[in-house]
Each structure stands twice: as structure tokens, then as C-alpha cells.
């Protein structure tokens, strides 16, 4: 897996955690907030490890000739459909 995909995967994990918190609605309990913050901090640590604290990712997402990864899009749709059917 290339570096950009690894980074995107970790960022998606953070977004999924935040979406789950919103899905809970109202005010989540203190334990779930602490747990989600710990999970996000762990993912941020993994991102820092993958990117060498951001030093080896300069210009990685600035490709003006970027072509959308159709296979990744299909996988995202399949994942979303599986979540909805569960």
C-alpha cells in the first residue's frame, strides 16, 4: 500500500470515530468520549510514525494530474452498503 493510501486510511478511521460519536446523539457519556479521544490520539501517533512526523509527505497530495482510484471508490461503496445492511 502506498503512503497516500496509508494516510487516507488512518484519516478515514478518525472520521469514522467522529461519525460514530455524532450518531450516538445527545451527549455521549464521559467514558465513551475518553475512549474515542484515546483512539484518535493513537491513530494520530500512527500517522506521525507513518509520515515521520510529517517530514516525508511534502507535496504528496498536490498532484494536479490526480486520477481517482476507482477500485478504492468501489471498496468504499461496498463498505457503506455493508454498514447499512447490518
Residue spans of the domains in the chain: they are: 3-61
pLDDT of 11 above 80: yes
- Give the separation between CA 32 and CA 3, rounded to whole angstroms: 31
pLDDT (mean) for 76-84: 84
Reported as a pLDDT band with limits 50, 70 and 90, residue 13 is very high
54 backbone φψ class: left, alpha, beta (φ>0; ψ -120 to 50): left
The conformation of residue 63, written as its DSSP 8-state character, comes to -
- Give the separation between CA 57 and CA 72, rounded to whole angstroms: 21
pLDDT of 48 above 90: yes
pTM of the model: 0.66
Is residue 49 classed as helix, strand or coil in its secondary structure? Answer: helix
Amino acid at each position: 500500500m502506498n503512503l497516500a493510501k496509508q494516510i487516507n486510511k488512518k484519516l478515514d478511521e478518525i472520521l469514522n470515530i467522529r461519525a460514530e460519536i455524532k450518531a450516538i446523539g445527545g451527549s455521549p457519556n464521559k467514558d465513551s468520549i475518553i475512549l474515542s479521544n484515546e483512539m484518535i490520539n493513537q491513530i494520530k501517533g500512527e500517522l506521525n510514525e507513518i509520515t515521520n512526523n510529517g517530514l516525508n509527505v511534502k507535496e504528496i497530495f498536490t498532484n494536479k494530474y490526480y486520477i481517482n482510484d476507482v477500485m478504492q471508490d468501489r471498496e468504499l461503496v461496498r463498505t457503506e452498503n455493508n454498514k447499512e445492511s447490518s
